[in-house]
């Protein structure tokens, strides 16, 4: 059985904001454009008062994210 081609994330707004902040220092528009667009688009929707929805990112771009960004998406805060 092959791995899924995409990852579907359901995250809190606080975790999403934290992940965006951590990703911002990694030149996201150049190195992580798909994830950056998906995260910022979802945050914009939430800021407009629209209901939270799942974030879908292709498997490889998700796997390429820095570990601190993935931790933030899981709700893990730095100690």
Tally of domains within the chain: 1
Residues facing 7 on adjacent strands: 57
Residue 7 lies in a domain: no
Residue 33 lies in a domain: yes
Residues facing 9 on adjacent strands: 55
Residue 57 lies in a domain: yes
Residue 65 lies in a domain: yes
Full domain range(s) for residue 50: 29-74
Residue 1 has what pLDDT? 62
What's the pLDDT band for 77 if we cut at 50, 70, 90?
A: confident
Residue 17 lies in a domain: no
Picking from 64, 20, 58, the residue whose alpha carbon sits closest to that of residue 40 is: 20
Question: Rg (Cα) of the chain, in Å, rounded?
Answer: 12
Residue 11 lies in a domain: no
pTM above 0.85, yes or no: yes
Residue 52 lies in a domain: yes
Residue 3 has what pLDDT? 72
Judged against a pLDDT cut of 70, whether residue 36 lies above it is answered with yes
| Cα 62 to Cα 1, 29, 32, 43, distances in angstroms | 20, 14, 9, 17
The string of pLDDT tens digits covering residues 41-64 is: 999 999 999 999 999 999 999 999
């Amino acid at each position: 059985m092959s791995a899924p081609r995409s990852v579907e994330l359901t995250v809190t707004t606080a975790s999403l904001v934290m992940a965006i902040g951590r990703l911002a220092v990694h030149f996201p528009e150049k190195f992580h454009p798909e994830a950056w667009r998906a995260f910022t688009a979802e945050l914009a929707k939430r800021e407009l008062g629209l209901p939270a929805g799942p974030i879908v990112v292709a498997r490889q771009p998700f796997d390429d994210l820095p570990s601190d960004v993935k931790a933030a998406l899981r709700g893990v805060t730095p100690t």
